[in-house]
């Protein structure tokens, strides 16, 4: 059942926030992202090699991969850099507002969507308590939510007309290449890459477990509309907040918890009340899988 599989992935997604936050004490954001996607790419391509799985590589696949990767790159960079200036809990709760952007992009604006989005936005206000001097990390994270929503919209379309396994693999490769170039902007030092327990845990959670969760998401988006996929990730910030409290000692005041409950209530209402379905796209011959 794709809905249940997506709910399980929220545990992994939620764990990435405190894991990344802890790792950023040692390593710069773009360098960490490079190691994360490099590890994920190595694991995935090793599995594909063992399975003798051939990848589709044509003009349509390249175009789809580039567009999807572009939004994914923007989202991860803004989110990870933002984590340097905000808490793991705030980052998780703000990121989940891609549930607001997805139906707006797709113009699937039923009454349930308006109600759930309104509740979530009010909850965001209580959580981050915006002032004239807004927190840079919160603003960057909100930008990442918009980018992740665009990526989900891309996946809804491309996974229905393209070989999703190839699209998944090429995105990992393109992200690794892009981050290899981007990380030098930070002037990384050798000390950042020294082996440590915190860095190892962060890379296992984000590079291996989260890569597997990404694969589950791509599979599910062949079956579910993008706005429902986004809404089913409602449990992600709750998991992140609990893990951040347990491992990092972070906490939310009463107003923050009230805002987080409103966000969860809004996205959960939208997740289970929506009856919208995604449009079905025909699968052109040029985009079919070439592998077994």
Q: How confident is the model at residue 174 (pLDDT cuts 50, 70, 90)?
A: very high
Angle 54-60-150 (CA atoms, 0-180°, nearest 5)?
105
**Range with the poorest average pLDDT among 107-116, 254-263, 265-274, 282-291:** 282-291
Query: Helix crossing, 235-243 with 2-23: angle to 10°?
Result: 30
Q: Provide the percentage of residues in the chain whose pLDDT is more than 70.
A: 88
The pLDDT of residue 229 is: 77
Question: Does residue 268 register a pLDDT over 50?
Answer: yes
pLDDT digits (tens, 9 = 90+) for 83-112: 888 887 788 778 888 878 888 898 877 787
Are the C-beta atoms of residues 202 and 32 closer than 8 Å to each other?
Answer: yes
pLDDT digits (tens, 9 = 90+) for 185-203: 888 999 999 999 999 999 9
The pLDDT of residue 282 is: 42
The pLDDT of residue 286 is: 31
Are the C-beta atoms of residues 242 and 100 closer than 8 Å to each other?
Answer: no
Handedness of CA 236, 242, 248, 254 (dihedral sign): positive
Query: In whole angstroms, how far apart are CA 216 and each of 64, 213, 223?
Result: 19, 5, 11
Query: In whole angstroms, how far apart are CA 200 and each of 58, 191, 245, 247?
Result: 36, 14, 20, 15
- Average pLDDT over the chain reads 83
**Range with the poorest average pLDDT among 46-60, 68-82, 171-185, 224-238:** 224-238
Q: How confident is the model at residue 128 (pLDDT cuts 50, 70, 90)?
A: low
Q: Provide the percentage of residues in the chain whose pLDDT is more than 90.
A: 41
The pLDDT of residue 289 is: 28
Q: How confident is the model at residue 240 (pLDDT cuts 50, 70, 90)?
A: confident
pLDDT digits (tens, 9 = 90+) for 52-82: 999 999 999 999 999 999 999 999 999 999 9
The HSE-up count of residue 47 (CA atoms within 13 Å, CB side) is 13
The pLDDT of residue 223 is: 81
Helix (H, G, I), strand (E, B) or coil at 140: helix
Q: Is 174 exposed, middle or buried (0-12, 13-18, 19+ CB in 10 A)?
A: buried
Question: Does residue 291 register a pLDDT over 50?
Answer: no
- The whole-model pTM stands at 0.81
pLDDT digits (tens, 9 = 90+) for 30-39: 999 999 999 9
């Amino acid at each position: 059942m794709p809905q249940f599989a997506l709910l399980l992935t929220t545990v992994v997604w939620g764990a990435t926030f405190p894991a990344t936050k802890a790792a950023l004490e040692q390593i710069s954001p773009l360098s960490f992202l490079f190691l994360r996607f490099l590890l994920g790419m190595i694991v995935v391509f090793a599995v594909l090699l063992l399975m003798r799985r051939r990848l589709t590589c044509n003009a349509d696949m390249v175009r789809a991969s580039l567009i999807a990767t572009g939004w994914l790159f923007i989202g991860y960079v803004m989110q990870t850099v933002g984590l340097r200036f905000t808490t793991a809990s705030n980052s998780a709760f703000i990121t989940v507002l891609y549930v607001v952007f997805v139906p707006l992009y797709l113009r699937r604006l039923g009454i349930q969507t308006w109600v759930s989005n309104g509740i979530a936005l009010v909850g965001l206000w209580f959580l981050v308590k915006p002032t004239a001097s807004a927190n840079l990390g919160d603003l960057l994270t909100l930008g990442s939510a918009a980018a992740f929503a665009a990526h989900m919209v891309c996946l809804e379309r491309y996974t229905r007309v393209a070989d999703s396994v190839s699209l998944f693999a090429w995105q990992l490769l393109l992200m690794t290449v892009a981050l290899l170039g981007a990380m030098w902007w930070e002037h990384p030092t050798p000390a950042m890459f020294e082996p440590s327990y915190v860095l190892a845990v962060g890379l296992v959670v984000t590079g291996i477990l989260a890569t597997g969760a990404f694969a589950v998401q791509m599979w599910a988006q062949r079956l579910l509309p993008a706005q429902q996929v986004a809404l089913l990730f409602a449990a992600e910030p709750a998991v992140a907040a609990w893990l951040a409290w347990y491992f990092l000692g972070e906490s939310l005041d009463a107003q923050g918890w009230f805002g987080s409950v409103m966000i969860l209530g809004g996205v959960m209402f939208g997740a289970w009340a929506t009856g919208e379905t995604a449009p079905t796209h025909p699968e052109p011959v040029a985009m079919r899988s070439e592998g077994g």
